[in-house]
């Protein structure tokens, strides 16, 4: 089976989901071949820079403005019609790689590439099944496109939303969740793992995924929590953000382990009791898979705010405000509550999305043949 995945660089989640899906499908059979293409980049350099750069600037510098655009685009509107027209015009840029690769199934990991692929399918330029993967925990109108054969979403609520809000048949919508790397599914004893990572084996452990925060923002919340929760240890991962790493070096206490980019983030999730993070779709999915309760700080208006709301409603996350330190201290002092949140995480998502998408792809290729 040959699978072509179209991703995008508007945040790291789309590519990470695509890569996790590729990993599983290729490991499932030596005959499977998977290719990942940046669909927005293929559509044109200026277009890609405008979309990706515009998202970054608006989300970080003008969050309220971005939130308004996000809300207003969650319905049929002049703005959506314009975006759809541009994406349909750009869809011809995708034809070459499709014809060259000759996939059996195509997967889209971004709303705009879903529009492009749906347009090509309607025009008869794509003959194979097209699957659209939504990498957040709330539905949005921009993912809806004529020509899409199946949608992958994160919850039954999204299945219901697709039917009631967008008139999409439930037979086409599957609550499989967002793909995560298989290493997140491995269960390990916390104490043993902490010892391996040179942490205190019996201490409450809080993980900060700090790279996506603003520098002053994350330092402030870390200081508040570290001053309140003195009887636990902290892991701070700054990712590819050397400026943030250097700022932290002068602020951390003796119970904090400061790291930059790591390739075994699953180990740090498995050994922790709580993660403090922004609610990006992939980090959320990885945390759920690890049974790791979340404390959400500073969600951007838009999909992050929707993700945070969903996580709070199903009881797997707390939303932090100005009293972050006391909130975290209270939560750490309630082991029963943490345990219940952990079980709810695993119930909400078991990490099997890649397997289920792969099985769906097999069934679609069999139907085609």
Question: Do 16 and 72 reside in the same domain of the chain?
Answer: yes
Question: Do 288 and 311 reside in the same domain of the chain?
Answer: yes
Question: Do 263 and 227 reside in the same domain of the chain?
Answer: yes
Question: Do 19 and 144 reside in the same domain of the chain?
Answer: yes
For residue range 260-306, what is the model confidence (pLDDT) as tens digits?
989 999 999 999 999 999 899 999 999 999 999 999 987 888 889 99
Query: What is the Cα–Cα distance from 162 to 173, expressed in whole angstroms?
Result: 8
For residue range 238-250, what is the model confidence (pLDDT) as tens digits?
988 888 899 899 8
Residues in contact with 1: Cβ distance below 8 Å, sequence separation at least 6, in sequence order: 25, 29, 31, 32, 33, 104, 105, 361, 362, 365
pLDDT score for 191: 92
Question: Do 131 and 188 reside in the same domain of the chain?
Answer: no
Question: Do 246 and 167 reside in the same domain of the chain?
Answer: no
Query: What is the Cα–Cα distance from 129 to 132, expressed in whole angstroms?
Result: 10
Q: Left, alpha or beta for 167 (phi > 0: left; psi -120 to 50: alpha)?
A: left
Question: Do 358 and 327 reside in the same domain of the chain?
Answer: no
Question: Do 242 and 338 reside in the same domain of the chain?
Answer: yes
Note down the domain range covering 297: 183-348
pLDDT score for 48: 84
pLDDT score for 215: 59
pLDDT score for 367: 61
Question: Do 191 and 119 reside in the same domain of the chain?
Answer: no
pLDDT score for 369: 47
Residue with tokens 């008139």: 167
Q: Left, alpha or beta for 192 (phi > 0: left; psi -120 to 50: alpha)?
A: alpha
Question: Do 205 and 225 reside in the same domain of the chain?
Answer: yes
> What residues of the chain score a pLDDT lower than 70?
211-216, 367-369
Question: Do 256 and 200 reside in the same domain of the chain?
Answer: yes
Q: Where are the alpha helices (DSSP H) in the chain?
A: 13-28, 39-43, 45-61, 63-72, 78-90, 95-101, 111-122, 156-166, 190-196, 215-228, 242-249, 265-270, 281-289, 303-313, 324-332, 335-348, 353-368
- Please count the CA atoms within 13 angstroms of the CA of 100 that sit on its side-chain side: 7
Question: Do 140 and 24 reside in the same domain of the chain?
Answer: yes
pLDDT score for 219: 85
Query: What is the Cα–Cα distance from 72 to 58, expressed in whole angstroms?
Result: 15
Closest CA to 275 of 345, 226, 205: 205
pLDDT score for 33: 98
Query: What is the Cα–Cα distance from 257 to 223, expressed in whole angstroms?
Result: 14
187 phi and psi, to 5 degrees?
-95, 135
User: For residue 71, what is the domain's CATH number?
Assistant: 3.40.50.2000
What is the tally of structural domains in the chain? 2
């Amino acid at each position: 089976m040959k699978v072509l995945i179209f991703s995008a660089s508007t945040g790291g989640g789309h590519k990470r989901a695509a890569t996790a899906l590729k990993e599983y499908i290729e490991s499932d059979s030596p005959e499977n071949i998977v290719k990942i293409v940046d669909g927005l980049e293929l559509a044109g350099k200026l277009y890609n820079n405008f979309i990706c750069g515009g998202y970054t600037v608006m989300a970080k510098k003008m969050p309220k403005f971005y939130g308004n655009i996000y809300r207003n685009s969650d319905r049929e509107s002049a703005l959506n019609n314009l975006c759809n027209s541009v994406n349909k015009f750009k869809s011809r840029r995708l034809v070459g790689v499709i014809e060259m690769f000759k996939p059996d199934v195509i997967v889209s990991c971004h709303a705009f590439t879903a529009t492009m692929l749906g347009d090509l399918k309607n025009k008869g330029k794509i003959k194979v099944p097209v699957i659209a993967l939504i990498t957040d925990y709330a539905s949005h109108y921009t993912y809806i496109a004529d020509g899409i054969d199946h949608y992958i979403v994160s919850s039954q609520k999204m299945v219901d939303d697709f039917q009631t809000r967008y008139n999409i048949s439930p037979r086409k919508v599957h609550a499989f969740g967002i793909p995560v790397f298989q290493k997140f599914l491995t269960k390990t004893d916390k104490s043993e793992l902490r010892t391996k990572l040179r942490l205190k084996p019996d201490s409450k452990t809080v993980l900060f995924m700090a790279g996506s925060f603003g520098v002053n923002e994350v330092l402030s919340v870390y200081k508040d929590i570290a001053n309140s929760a003195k009887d636990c240890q902290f892991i701070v991962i700054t990712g590819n953000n050397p400026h943030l790493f250097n700022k932290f070096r002068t602020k951390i206490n003796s119970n904090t382990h400061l790291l930059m980019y790591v390739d075994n983030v699953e180990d740090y999730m498995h050994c922790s009791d709580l993660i403090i993070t922004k609610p990006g779709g992939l980090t959320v999915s990885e945390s759920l898979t690890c049974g790791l309760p979340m404390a959400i700080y500073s969600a951007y208006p838009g999909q992050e705010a929707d993700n945070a709301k969903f996580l709070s409603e199903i009881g797997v996350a707390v939303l932090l405000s100005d009293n972050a330190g006391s909130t975290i201290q209270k939560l750490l002092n309630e082991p029963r509550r943490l345990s219940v949140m952990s079980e709810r995480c695993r119930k909400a998502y078991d990490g099997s999305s890649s397997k289920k998408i792969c099985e769906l792809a097999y069934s679609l290729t069999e139907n085609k043949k």
